[in-house]
Amino acid sequence: MKKSIALIACSLLAIAATQYPTQARQTLDALTALQVKKGMAAFNRHDYATAGLLLRLPAERGASEAQAILCYLHTYGRGVPQSYDQAAMWCHRSAEQGNAQGQYMLGLLYNKGHGVQENYVQAYKWLNLAAAHASGPRRDFSYRIRDSVATKMSPYQLSKAQALSVEWQPSFEPSGQH
Across the range 128-149, mean pLDDT stands at 93
Tell me which residue of 91, 126, 94 sits closest to 107, measured CA to CA. 126
pLDDT digits (tens, 9 = 90+) for 71-96: 999 999 999 999 999 999 999 999 99
Q: Kindly list the domain boundaries of the chain, sorted by start residue.
A: 2-167
The CATH code that applies to domain 2-167 is 1.25.40.10
Residue 19 pLDDT exceeds 60: no
Confidence check: pLDDT of 7 > 90: no
The neighbouring-strand residues paired with 63 are 177
Coil, helix or strand at residue 127: helix
C-alpha to C-alpha distance for 71 and 94, rounded to whole angstroms: 9
Neighbours of 89 (CB within 10 A): 18
- Average pLDDT score, the chain: 88
DSSP character at residue 177: B
pLDDT of residue 119: 98
- What's the whole-model pTM score? 0.82
Q: How many CB atoms lie within 10 A of CB 103?
A: 29
Q: What is the pLDDT of residues 23-42, one digit of tens each?
A: 545 655 888 899 999 999 99
